[in-house]
Amino acid sequence: MPNKLRLYMNHFHHVDSHLCITFNRTSHNILIRNFFKAVSRLGDGFFWYSLMALMLLIDQAQALLPVLHMIVAGFTGTIIYKWLKARTLRPRPFNVHQQISLRSIPLDQFSFPSGHTLHAVIFTLVAIHYYPMLSLGLIPFTILIGLSRPILGLHYPSDVLVGALIGILISLISFSII
């Protein structure tokens, strides 16, 4: 790797780590920690599955396309993020930095990219495509899921950013297909 690129990557990793440590320090406050643990837990899937069930309950047959779209896009996201995690093998921040406190149990071993953020972005973008009025609740919730990841010591900010970008990309491609 050329020296300039190595210097840039080292600087980027330093900034990413510093931001992660700064976010994670906020979790020393028990109210902040518990709030973001709850947000993260909802982002495990329960909220999204409940939303899909509610859409089907309220709109019945009209909700079939949006729900199937969310399922297929979410499944695609799962395949991509698991493939990336298996290739990059980036350790979670709490495994690398002693000053980062683990505040929630990770679902898997590796950090890059954030699957919670990736799925939150996919589900939000697809849901608001069909139900724009949901944007008032889903966009802030998705942002909170992204913030929860470094606050809880589970992801670097770059993991969250890349997860969001992949989620946007999958959503945009899915809109062009459907």
**Which tokens sit at 45?**
């899937």
Distance, CA of 118 to CA of 4 (rounded, Å): 31
CA atoms within 13 A on the CB side of 124: 23
Report yes or no: 116 and 163 within 8 Å, Cβ to Cβ: yes
* pLDDT of 43: 92
DSSP secondary structure letter of residue 91 = B
* pLDDT of 36: 97
DSSP secondary structure letter of residue 110 = B
- Output the pTM of the full model: 0.93
* pLDDT of 74: 97
* pLDDT of 1: 58
* pLDDT of 174: 97
Low-confidence ranges of the chain (pLDDT < 70): 1
Query: Distance from CA of residue 109 to its chain's centroid?
Result: 15
Q: Which of 78, 53, 77 lies closest to 64, judged by CA?
A: 53
